[in-house]
Structure 1
Amino acid sequence: MNAEPDPHQPRAKPEGIVQPLIALEDITKVYVTEGGVRAEALKGISLTIYPGEFVAIVGSSGSGKSSLMNILGCLDRPTSGRYRFAGRDVEDLSRDELAQLRRHEFGFVFQSYNLIANATAVENVEIPAIYAGRPAAERHEAAETILTDLGLGERLHHLPNQLSGGQQQRVSIARALMNDGRVILADEPTGALDSKSGQQLLDLMKRLSDEGRTIILITHDRSVAAQTRRVVEIQDGRILSDTGNDFASLDHAALHGLAAHPAPEMSHAAGQMAEAAKMAMRALGTNPFRTVLTLLGIMIGVASVIAMLAVGEGAKQNVLARVSAMGSNLLLVRPGAPNQRFSAGGSVTSLIPADAEAIAKLDNIVVAVPEISSSVTVRGGRVDYSTQTTGTTADYPVAQRWDIARGTFFTAEDAASYAAVVVLGTTVATILFPDGEDPLGRFIIINNVPFQIIGVLAPKGANTGGRDMDDVMIVPITTGSLRIFGRRHVQSVTVAVADTSRIDQSETDVRALLTDRHGREDFQIRNMASLIETVSATANTMTVLLGSIAAISLLVGGIGVMNVMLMSVTERTREIGIRMATGAATRDILSQFMTEAFVISACGGIAGIALGFLAAWVTTLTGLSVQLTAGPVLLAFGCAVSTGFLFGLAPAIKASRLDPVVALANE
């Protein structure tokens, strides 16, 4: 070994080398504890290292050598002083620029290996290349080649806990070589190895140095340091000695080749997203119970939104269908002053059939149908049955949009001649003729008056109030007034308009006509188009309310995602430090944890969709109307993913802002 020169004197540049690779000038590092106590780790370190040197920084525990290594590797910043790498002032670099420098120029070999526990040897070695943007196939092939060259060809897909200490250290070295950086920083690389494995490691580093890489080895073992070409001894934060080096022994061709090593910035978004998704799936499998609880919150939220909106939409469509069945082009006129309840009652002479005849002559009116209804007892064969009987005109099927299933409806001539004819609803026809007999042409007795059946109405089902609309008999209003009801005034007039866009004007015309005929406004008019709009608006409000209530569970699920992500950041702090040391920039860590939040939310959302469909199907078994559409499903899934993103943002930001050296020190 050469005589020790004065460490404070500038050393001669090697021939052919323009500038030093690493230049430290008066570097200090001061740590301040939470209690405000200052600890000075480095006290004015000045050090110059040229490309291709094999340097050992030796010192006892607490001498400051680890702090010096962290600064050399751009894992930490000095408190004061100047650090230039390849002529570039490191102080001027941002966090992401420092990450780029670590990614392309440095390789770290840690004493504790710092391998990601749930990643294979190949996957650990690939990490720097992921952040460098190398294609998956290329980086995978390169990782396998390096590991094979290091004697790990049969251990490519083993996890760290399946490897010996020496094998793990070689994986760490392979990772350091992955991006072909110019500088290898090794922190106590032989500390955890037996003597044979330690010597093999030192021989490997000598070979790497001979190939032109700059090797900086941090150790407390002087026998290890003696195998390097240059030894820098540090004590109490100061350089105690610095041996010389024979620059003539360096392979300058190799040095210049490495000096020209490019460090292009390539787009690696796709690779990073794929890696993040892979790590997210691994994280989900690491703690299955916690994963299930987290996904359960998202699942219940999505399923609740889908089921609630499906029930609300089904109820809305059911109500609208029943109301619309009455006709959106109708005006319903009933007796009673406007300030009275809209009912079948009112003045005896409030509405009469002549009013309907007058209304029918107005512009834009198709038909005006008066109606009188009463509950009566009817006998057919040997069956007595109580049902609703309605007296009306021949235009009734037009106004009510009610088809005839069998036979015919009575005509205006039947009404004019007071014909005793009747049209039955399907319920009445079935009850009076239970054996499938054809009721057409048969006679039934209504209030002791025989009526001949001339038709059967098409089935309509229940109305909005749940009453069976097919439980009815229809007779001419003239015949009914004379032989059944015993009165002339009508309970309602149904007015059908031709042009629904002019229905409001028609309502005004009807009101003016009846007011003029009666001398006062002793009637009420209900516009069915306005009613449908009101019902639709109300149903929409109820649907939104149901969806909002269900969305609360999505919020709870989002909080669960945030808690899990925060725990993940805490549990994986060391992994984050490893990724930062291997070149991960702020956006890389941020995108990784955001992708993990997305994967968790998406998995929960997909499972929630399945659960929501199941809940909707079960609901149909109870008889409730359910209508599943793509809108609520997409809305629920979108909300789940958005919630995951929103609540995953804070943990992701926390992870991306960790200090690399602090994260690596985390246990």
Structure 2
Amino acid sequence: MSTAHQGVRRDAGKGPPLIELRGVARRYVMGREDDPAAVIVPALQGVSLRIEAGEYVAIIGQSGSGKSTLMNILGCLDNPSEGLFLIDGQDASELDADELAALRRERFGFIFQRYHLLPGMDAQANASLPAVYAGVSTGQRMGRAATLLAELGLGERMHHKPNELSGGQQQRVSIARALMNGGQIILADEPTGALDSASGQEMLRQLDALHAAGHTIILVTHDAKVAAHARRVIELSDGHVLRDSGTPAGHAVPQAALAMASGPGSFWAHWRGQLREALGSALGALYANRLRSSLSMLGICIGITAVVCTAALGDAARQGIEGNLGAAVASKLWVWSDASKLPPGALPRDFRPYELEAIRAIDGVQDVQGERRMMGGLRQGTQQVNGQTLAATTDTLKSNQMTLALGRDFTSADLQARAQVVVLSHRLWQDLFKGRASALGSTMLIDTTPGAAEAGMPGGAAAVPIGAALPVQVIGILKEKRDGDGDDGRSATLYLPVSTYLSKIDARPSVSSFRVMVAKGHDPAHIEAQVRHRLKALHGQQDFGLWNGDAMFRQVQQVMGIIAAIFTGVGAIALLVGGVGVMNIMLVSVSERTREIGIRMAVGARQSDVRMQFLIEAVMLCCLGGLAGLALSWLAAQGANAVQDKVTLDVSGKAVALAFAVSGGIGLLFGTLPARRAAALSPVDALARE
């Protein structure tokens, strides 16, 4: 083999032996240990022996003699019930599970009767598995595996799966795996038991070659002919050492035998390799159980779809409501003449221009807009509707978040010339012109009969009539209300330049109501308090009403937040159900793959390595379900957008990030129990499962 006999480092008997057992016993309890009726089955009783480095030992005995139990203890797969088991003078009972795993990884190589190869890996990957947990880089371990397999005559078969190899070839793969990290101590459990005679002889020649190269060979068999290849035979019967031929006289410990143990590899290389191995194993397991995995992902898919769709619906509804409502009322105050707090018979006073200027001078007030409106008839040809005429400036449409569909807005020239031009709401355009684009440039009439002009808020006064009908020309048409960029869509409204309104409809400079626009970055509640204080000082009494639109807007936002939380809770329940399903499937997977877990532990996997493997599998299962849920949500959103245009559903980047975060969290949460159960398995019990 690849390691040559390099002479003597120390003689047998000088210093601690490689392996020493002192009064080792192993008992199995059938039932609970504290139950007096429990049956105790002794497997080993008072076994004491010393094995020097470089020995070739055969442990022989009939079935039930305890030889497999002894091999499990020698290989750190099991612990004695009493007595001492020492390796290089160190008591193995003082080592925790991860330290025992390190011993198996760095000092031992196992050759099992049933080969114990992982079926989803090819020969090269199976041979290199111990190096994954030793922290060896991918290139190094795959190169060493290829070299070992080539030396064992499997150079052309290294990319074949175990089911594509003969029994003898599979056993040679297990030899390569045993030598991967050095294999100072080779434990062979009935290595020829499942082989034909020719393959069995080849196996024994391989063991002879390994011994000649300096490896310590411990062979367990019931066949005396196989045991004859060893230099020392230990015979067991009913858990006792019946005969021990002892270390051969003059045995010298080869220096190579003491240099074979591999040390710990790179920490980061270990985690990178283990992560790659866990991902590959997870994908293989999910693919091997495609139907079951798909059904498990279905629960997560439904949950994520529910969460993302409700989030998209909530966002669309919130944007629609907050967009429309925010454009109409956010950061605005309405003030009107109000006699409700005045003595009986007292009348409120209108707001004079200098009072509006006083309000405009308050820090944080962006604009003050006096509201002049008239209710009455609006005519075009033979068509007539009842609507309202509002006085407007060049900023009115923009400040109220209204957008033109056709035509133009008012200009300074229109106001200076007192032009008889108007902008129509979408509703009025439909009512009078039936939505025809030819409405632009058309002439229509505004009824200005006595009593038609009035304030739109409580406390309004009669208008000063100018004439019976005012002809005006249409210069613009507003968009229908969509996400805050059009008119309210519910009333027939006409906008007229304020200068024209004052000269043709109502010449009074005072107004009975006005709006206050709050500048960005200022608190509307604070501005409200200042407006109230200044008006009371100017009027000497509270003969006005004041309404803060921002307060209502915040209440609506709170209500929308509660509704969104309720929808999210519904989706969370679906995710919880999906998570329970994932946990159940993972527990089944642990039960079905117990032998695989035992193999990994035997070649040196730590408990943390096993936990990581099953946690990654659970997270991957949930993330795949989350990905399917995202795809389904996107399709649902596109379908909803195709059949209606009232709201636009969008699967945002935030929703994608949330979906994957929630999927990963569900995988971690519900994968923890199966992962802990897998990591807590005893290697020897796991290997015994079929």
Check the 8 A contact 1:407/1:454 in 2, yes or no.
Answer: no
Amino acid of the residue matched to residue 210 of structure 1? A
Of 239-248 and 558-567, deviating more is: 239-248
CA 629–524 in structure 1, closer or farther in 2 if over 3 Å, else same: farther
Matches of 2:424 and 2:653 in 1, distance apart? 42
Pair 1:221–1:461, CA change in 2 (3 A)? same
Q: Which residue of 2 aligns with 1:425?
A: 425
1:451 maps to what in 2? 470
Matching residue within 29, 39, 45 for 2:26: 29
Change (3 A) 1:134 1:536: same
Alignment-derived partner of residue 654 in structure 1: 677
2:207 matched to which residue of 1? 205
With 562-571 and 551-560 compared, the bigger mean Cα shift is at: 551-560
Query: 5+ residue gaps in structure 2?
Result: 1-9, 32-36, 450-467
Single out whichever of 161-170 and 388-397 deviates more from structure 2: 388-397
Residue-by-residue CA offset, 1:617-638 (whole Å, 9 max, x unaligned): 2232333233443223212211
Q: Distance in 1 between matches of 2:347 and 2:398?
A: 24
Are 1:352 and 1:488, in contact at CA under 8 Å, matched by a contact in 2?
no
Greater shift, 275-284 or 588-597, is seen at: 588-597
Distance 2:374 2:232 in 1: 113
Give 1:635's match in structure 2, choosing from 642, 658, 681.
658
Q: Are the structure 2 counterparts of residues 74 and 498 from structure 1 closer, same or farther at C-alpha, using a change threshold of 3 Å?
A: closer
The residue aligned with 2:443 is: 442
Matching residue's letter, 1:111: Q
In structure 2, what is the equivalent of residue 264 of structure 1?
263
* C-alpha separation in 2, matches of 1:204 and 1:251: 21
C-alpha deviation, 1:273, in angstroms: 0.4
Q: 2:150 aligns with which of 148, 155, 160?
A: 148
SS of 1:437 mapped into structure 2: helix
**1:598 to partner: Cα distance:** 2.4
Instruction: Tell whether the 8 Å contact from 1:360 to 1:368 is kept in structure 2 after alignment.
Output: no
Q: Which residue of 2 aligns with 1:132?
A: 134
- What's the CA shift for 1:460? 4.2
C-alpha change, 1:459 and 1:477, in structure 2 (3 Å) is closer
Does residue 381 in structure 1 map to residue 402 in structure 2?
no
Cα contact 2:337–2:349 (8 A) shared by 1: no
Range moving further from structure 2, 564-573 or 607-616: 607-616
Equivalent-residue separation in structure 1 for 2:151 and 2:595 (angstroms) = 28
Contact 1:276-1:592 within 8 A present in 2 as well? yes
By how many angstroms is 1:641 displaced? Answer: 0.5
The 1:403/1:117 distance shift into structure 2, 3 A limit, reads closer
Change (3 A) 1:402 1:87: closer
User: 386-395 or 636-645: which moved more?
Assistant: 386-395
- 1:591 paired to 2:586: no
- Let me know the Cα RMSD of the aligned residues: 3.5
Counterpart pick for 1:47 among 46, 49, 72: 49
- After TM superposition, give the deviation of residue 283 of structure 1 in Å: 0.6
Letter of the 1:27 counterpart: V
Deviation at 1:299, TM superposition (A): 2.3
Shift of 1:354: 4.2
The answer to which of 593-602 and 400-409 deviates more is 400-409
1:61 is paired with a residue whose SS is: coil
Matched position secondary structure for 2:84: strand
384-393 or 491-500, larger mean C-alpha shift: 491-500
**d(CA) in 2 for partners of 1:307 and 1:462?**
25
1:194 aligns with 2:196: yes
Work out the CA distance in 2 between the residues paired with 1:349 and 1:146.
108
Contact 2:423–2:478 (Cα < 8 Å) also in 1: no
Distance in 2, Cα, partners of 1:583 & 1:370: 83
Separation of aligned partners in 2, 1:350 and 1:564: 78
Q: Is the 8 A contact 2:443 2:474 kept in 1?
A: no
| Pair 1:547-2:568 in alignment | yes
Taking the TM superposition and a 5 Å limit, the aligned residue runs for 1:596-615 are 596-615=617-636
Per mean C-alpha deviation after superposition, the further-off stretch among 304-313 and 357-366 is: 357-366
AA at the equivalent of 2:612: S
Query: How many Å separate the matches in 2 of 1:505 and 1:125?
Result: 76
Q: Residue 113 and residue 393 in structure 1: after superposition, are their counterparts in 2 closer, same or farther (change >3 A)?
A: closer
User: What is the CA-CA distance between 1:421 and the residue it aligns to?
Assistant: 6.4
Letter in 1 for 2:603: T
| Contact 1:113–1:169 under 8 Å retained in 2 | yes
One-letter identity of the residue aligned with 1:23: E
Corresponding residue for 1:6?
none
Matched, 1:462 2:497: no
Which AA in structure 2 matches 1:666? R
1:370 aligns with 2:371: yes
* TM score, norm. by length of structure 1: 0.86
Q: How far is the alpha carbon of 1:439 from its aligned partner?
A: 3.8
**How far apart, in 2, do the equivalents of 1:495 and 1:45 lie?**
97
TM-superposed deviation, 1:529: 3.1
State the SS of the aligned residue for 1:205. helix
Partners of 2:123 and 2:159 within 8 A in 1: yes
Shift of the alpha carbon at 1:508? 3.2
Choose which of 592, 613, 628 in structure 2 pairs with 1:571.
592
Structure 1 runs not aligned, ≥5 long: 1-12, 340-346
Measure, in 2, the Cα distance between the counterparts of 1:615 and 1:540.
23
Matches within 5 A, 1:171-186: 171-186=173-188
Following the alignment from structure 2 to structure 1, what is the Cα–Cα distance between the partners of residues 354 and 398? 15
- Provide the aligned length of Structure 1 versus Structure 2: 639
Q: Could you tell me which amino acid in structure 1 is paired with residue 438 of structure 2?
A: E
Q: Structure 2: which amino acid aligns with 1:278?
A: G
1:498–1:175 Cα change, 3 Å? closer
Alignment partners' CA distance in 2, 1:132 and 1:472: 80
Pairs within 5 Å for 1:149-164 = 149-164=151-166
Deviates more, 1:530-539 or 1:273-282: 530-539
Q: How far apart, CA to CA, are the structure 1 residues paired with 2:615 and 2:338?
A: 66
CA distance in 1, matches of 2:189, 2:388: 99
**Distance (Å, rounded) in 2 between the aligned partners of 1:408 and 1:477:** 10
Query: 1:392 Cα shift?
Result: 3.6
Residue matched to 1:4: none
Conserved 8 A contact 2:113-2:191 = yes
Percent identity reads: 39
Matches within 5 A, 1:173-572: 173-248=175-250, 252=253, 255-266=254-265, 267=267, 268-326=270-328, 328-334=330-336, 354=351, 358-362=355-359, 363-364=361-362, 366-372=367-373, 374=375, 376-382=376-382, 384-392=383-391, 394=393, 396-397=396-397, 400=400, 405-406=407-408, 408=410, 422-429=422-429, 432-433=432-433, 435-437=436-438, 439-440=440-441, 442-444=443-445, 446=447, 449-457=468-476, 459-462=478-481, 467-468=488-489, 471-475=492-496, 492-497=513-518, 501=522, 503-512=524-533, 523-572=544-593
Q: In 1, Cα distance between the equivalents of 2:62 and 2:374?
A: 107
The AA in structure 1 aligned to 2:310 is: M
Cα distance in 1 for partners of 2:671, 2:204 equals 44
Q: Tell me how far 1:107 sits from its aligned partner.
A: 0.9
Measured in 2, the distance between the counterparts of 1:497 and 1:65 equals 90
Output the CA distance in 2 between the equivalents of 1:483 and 1:206.
118
Whole-Å Cα distance in 2 between the matches of residues 425 and 75 of structure 1?
A: 85
8 Å contact 1:301–1:557 — kept in the other structure?
Answer: yes
Cα distance in structure 2, aligned partners of 1:393 and 1:245 = 111
Q: Distance in 2 between matches of 1:350 and 1:506?
A: 26
Correspondence for 2:463: none
- Structure 1 residues 398 and 358: CA distance shift in structure 2, 3 A: farther
The verdict on how the C-alpha distance between 1:439 and 1:242 changes in structure 2, with shifts beyond 3 A counting, is closer
Which of these residues, 71, 74, 78, is aligned with residue 73 of structure 2?
Answer: 71
Q: 1:312, 1:626 within 8 Å by CA — same for their partners in 2?
A: no
Q: CA deviation at 1:206?
A: 1.1
Relative to structure 1, the CA distance from residue 659 to residue 474 in structure 2 (aligned partners, 3 Å threshold; closer, same or farther) is same
- C-alpha contact (below 8 Å) 1:356/1:493 kept by paired residues: no
Between 203-212 and 450-459, report the one with greater CA deviation: 450-459
